[in-house]
Structure 1
Amino acid sequence: MTYEEQVQEELIRWKRKIRKNPSMTGRFTKKWQNKFNGMIPEKFHQVVTSSIKNMVQATIYGTDVTSKDSRLRALPLQEQEEKAKQLIEKFKKTAAVEGAGTGFGGVLLGMADFPLLLSIKMKFLHEVALIYGYDVRDYRERLFLLLIFQLTFSSDEQKQVLLDRVEEWEKERIKLPEKDQYVAHIDWKEFQLSYRDYIDIPKMLQLIPGFGAIVGATVNYHFLDLLGETAINCFRMRAFREESTTN
Structure 2
Amino acid sequence: MVDYIMEVERELDFWKRKMTKRSSRISRVSKVAQTKINGLIPEKFHQVMTDSIKNMVKATLVGSNITTKKRSTLDIGLFEKDELLREKLSTYRKTAVVEGAGTGAGGILLGLADFPLLLSIKMKFLFEAASIYGYDTKDYEERLFILHIFLLAFSSEEKRKETLFIIENWEQQKHVIADMDWRDFQQEYRDYIDLVKMFQLVPGIGAVVGAFANYNLLDQLGETAMNSYRLRILQSNESK
Q: TM-score, normalising length from structure 1?
A: 0.85
Change in Cα spacing, 1:120 to 1:78, as seen in structure 2 (3 Å) is same
- Structure 1 residue 47: Cα displacement: 9.3
Match of 2:168 in 1: 167
Question: What are structure 2's unaligned runs of at least 5 residues?
Answer: 39-45
CA distance in 2, matches of 1:154, 1:140: 21
Match of 1:6 in 2: 7
CA distance in 1, matches of 2:91, 2:61: 25
Q: How does 1:5-44 map to 2 (within 5 A)?
A: 5-31=6-32, 33=34
Q: Given that residues 48 and 114 in structure 1 are in contact (C-alpha distance below 8 angstroms), is that contact kept between their aligned partners in structure 2?
A: no
Q: Which secondary structure state, in structure 1, belongs to the residue aligned with residue 66 of structure 2? A: coil
- Structure 1 residue 67: Cα displacement: 5.7
CA RMSD of aligned residues (A): 2.5
Q: For residue 227 of structure 2, what is the amino acid of its counterpart?
A: N
Q: 1:187 aligns with which of 156, 175, 181?
A: 181
Match of 2:228 in 1: 234
Match of 1:113 in 2: 114
With 121-130 and 18-27 compared, the bigger mean Cα shift is at 18-27
Match of 1:58 in 2: 59
Q: For residue 233 of structure 1, what is the amino acid of its counterpart?
A: N
Q: Which secondary structure state, in structure 1, belongs to the residue aligned with residue 106 of structure 2? A: coil
Question: What are structure 1's unaligned runs of at least 5 residues?
Answer: 38-44
Q: TM-score, normalising length from structure 2?
A: 0.88
CA distance in 2, matches of 1:196, 1:174: 28
Change in Cα spacing, 1:67 to 1:211, as seen in structure 2 (3 Å) is closer
Q: Which secondary structure state, in structure 1, belongs to the residue aligned with residue 100 of structure 2? A: helix
Match of 1:205 in 2: 199
Q: Given that residues 88 and 225 in structure 1 are in contact (C-alpha distance below 8 angstroms), is that contact kept between their aligned partners in structure 2?
A: yes
Q: Given that residues 92 and 125 in structure 2 are in contact (C-alpha distance below 8 angstroms), is that contact kept between their aligned partners in structure 1?
A: yes
Match of 1:222 in 2: 216
Q: Between Structure 1 and Structure 2, how many residues are aligned? A: 233
